[in-house]
Structure 1
């Protein structure tokens, strides 16, 4: 018999018992109490059972943020099934891959994406049922109303997967990351004290639920009984109004959203006056934006360094460090590990720890770690060591106080004449050159040096690029072996649906040109 362990759905059961009539979640005009949420989750479990979805079976949700997606994730925890929350921005080929790879048998699809799914339905042999969500013919709500609530939960083991999120896939196809009862419960237990989430909090969830910054942030708040406000999609002006009207205390956004929210500084200060925590992550916050946020908002800032494979955040930089005028360099840091998380900085070639200040790969170990990649034992073995360390693929350093600084991705490292070059270090300098709007630095083959550094630049609109002047500029700021030996100008850089630069595609485009 499987061992008993805390289940993510236990969060809902607890608060439905302790404060049944209190609002748990709002979504648009809808308000759902804890008792109603518990009932809806049990009915969603009934819908899954009636569709033949049992323990270990997978189903998928394809939609923008919706209350149903949260309910179904909780229902998966309750029944032992697995919710595959799919990035609705994927191209058709990617969507076909994810749905087939996941072996999802049932797809819950938002009305907005139903036509898109119809177009590829013939290429999805495992999908035997599609349930329409929203629109004029909301099959999900009709099924929910008619379903028999499931009374008894599945006896989950700690390592049971109930949520499968796909990595963004900067190289090759996206991989299915298996998140478990243990990993997500451990994440909630680490997240809530670090970000001061508590029962009295009102938590804005605006990141997409196919991202850990959406689902994990939501479940973290729910674990302590906080009120959750789920946002379908980000429209900055409407989001500012919502933050103000709801008197929200907690929110997490990517820097680009924060940039839009504070475009009107006075309005932002008024609208966000009740925020006690403003978390950000997903990408670094540029220094000019950081300075503007700190000047416009008195709100305590918390950074997030996390990843899907770790169920979300495992390292943070707190508000005092953000406003420490004696140590402003900390604003470029990813912070320090949360309690319960160990981090090593390792030479990827030898597996040995490097000295403080030296570059290496971050290896992480905690109960937040994923179970592995779905049906990819080789990729799992490459990522998780036999003694439980997860190789993040991020290259960086740790200073003498224990703060981590992310420099680049290990796989993007360029080796030229035996010297290691991390592209991010070069990219930061190139972006300082006048007239550069965007840049990607890659390695190109060289007969003598093995590889040399190449900068692929998007010039500002209407600007021409002086390649030699750019190279000379970098040579005044970097060791010569790190500097580009060639520069190409392009109109745009290839990116995946989450905005990450596809350097593999870029190399291919340049070789074909």
Structure 2
């Protein structure tokens, strides 16, 4: 009988066996080894234990990307804690909800925001700081804690907040088994090994950057060029010295337009992965023409990790997210009856497997509502299988917008716009954008005696919303389209404004 090996166990095994192997290649030319990272993990674990972190306690993080932030993630797992990464763009008001809901024992923020969070964080939460230059209170401990709390497959490892178009945000609880099983499936499917050199330009508060890109690297003993953000110049420079790039569609639209990207430049690369948002078939073709490589598109979500993938060997089909990963079952069902549908028919996408989360934090009724009696999870996405078993995503049941790889939920923006004195009502939609995949557009109806002005409305919400949520355009209409039941027809609005950003000159 095999013994369960968690992500942390795999990482520590590599650190013991190959302590001098490089984990991080940094932009300044320095490197950090597996052994050195393990020591950072143990120092941070000592600090967290001194802060009172016990197994099951949440540790929240809202910091800029750094090697130490990955060490914080691993240190939380070492203590049996539950890691809660938060988008760095969230305002203090947005973070307040997560602090109140998850009640973390420790919040780690940037040094610049320490005073702000000390003033708004409950007394039960310890505030620590972590910067990008090896600074911050989290790193002050000289003590070392090597005591590893044993992880079991069903124990919670992380909470990632997702959200619906109505209601409050939901914390998806991902277990150690969820994370490890997804790594196992992807290592096999993508042929990921210790010889790989990943270009890591994704954020680490998101499932793609942390639980796909980083976890795969940590569990295989591979190394990564660790960039603070997407930088086309840096990536072009690194491609000849790398084997894998994981990105969102925006990465590939920009690289496909860069004349420096050639088949010769990409000769050592073996895999370009795209996810987090739909990749247009035209962009898939354009990148292949530019680089000589076919992008491997995959499909996943916060609650499940990765679900399907185009094959490593075999046909990678533009517009398709590929085949179910090993050990994962996917079906498309009739959205009214729940009956499984045959190839080519469009329906709700449901998934079952060891990758599927354990439930929503403190929401047992919501959790129960999203699972079928036979254990399949209803993703809320709509799609179809072709005759060869390739899955294509047709749309989403809910009106979520995915802009630059980040989820945007219209109701949050609509509530702010509706509160503006010049607005009677609003509808927020996503429309195609050549750089971001989708972007946010607000359609508003004027309040009696008022004339809504685009800059005023965008300015009014700017301090209340992360930048990626802010509308890129506002359109004023006499009335919102509705069906006979009075429901706003957002599909009609999306169709009406579908070409708003098709001229790239308007998207700068």
Place the TM-score, normalised by the shorter chain, in its bin.
0.7 to 0.9
CA distance in 2 between partners of 1:300 and 1:40 (Å): 38
The match for 2:275 is 281
CA distance in 2 between partners of 1:344 and 1:12 (Å): 34
Q: Deviations over 1:310-362 (max 9, x none)?
A: 1x212011366556xxxxxx311111101100011112222211222111111
Show structure 2 runs of 5+ residues with no match.
401-428, 444-478
Q: Deviations over 1:252-311 (max 9, x none)?
A: 00011121223223345454332110000111112321221010112342111011111x
Superposition deviation, residue 385 in structure 1? 3.0
Alignment size in residue pairs = 433
Q: Deviations over 1:53-78 (max 9, x none)?
A: 11001111112322122112212222
Query: Which residue of 288, 310, 322 maps to 1:317?
Result: 310
The match for 2:47 is 47
Instruction: Say if 1:375 and 1:428 are closer, same or farther in 2 by CA, change over 3 A.
Output: closer
The match for 1:225 is 221
Decide whether the 8 Å contact of 2:433 with 2:502 is kept in 1.
Answer: no
The match for 1:467 is none
The match for 2:413 is none
Query: Which residue of 207, 212, 216 maps to 1:212?
Result: 207
Q: Deviations over 1:423-481 (max 9, x none)?
A: xxxx999999xxx9998999953338987652244464899xxxxxxxxxxxxxxxxxx
CA distance in 1 between partners of 2:431 and 2:26 (Å): 43
The match for 2:11 is 12
Decide whether the 8 Å contact of 1:73 with 1:162 is kept in 2.
Answer: no
- Please say if 1:389 is aligned against 2:388: no
CA distance in 2 between partners of 1:438 and 1:135 (Å): 31
Superposition deviation, residue 37 in structure 1? 1.9
Find the residue that maps to 1:233 and give its secondary structure. coil
Show structure 1 runs of 5+ residues with no match.
324-329, 414-426, 464-490, 493-513
- Please say if 1:241 is aligned against 2:240: no
CA distance in 1 between partners of 2:289 and 2:326 (Å): 30
CA distance in 2 between partners of 1:461 and 1:411 (Å): 22
Find the residue that maps to 1:186 and give its secondary structure. helix
The match for 2:333 is 346
Q: Deviations over 1:384-434 (max 9, x none)?
A: 234321111001111221111111112359xxxxxxxxxxxxx999999xx
CA distance in 2 between partners of 1:355 and 1:462 (Å): 35
TM-score of the aligned structures, taking structure 1 as reference length: 0.76
The match for 2:355 is 368
Higher helix content, 1 or 2: 1
Superposition deviation, residue 202 in structure 1? 0.8
Query: Which residue of 80, 105, 119 maps to 1:122?
Result: 119
TM-score of the aligned structures, taking structure 2 as reference length: 0.77
For residues 262-277 of structure 1, the aligned pairs below 5 Å read 262-267=256-261, 269-277=263-271
Instruction: Say if 1:135 and 1:8 are closer, same or farther in 2 by CA, change over 3 A.
Output: closer
- Please say if 1:250 is aligned against 2:233: no
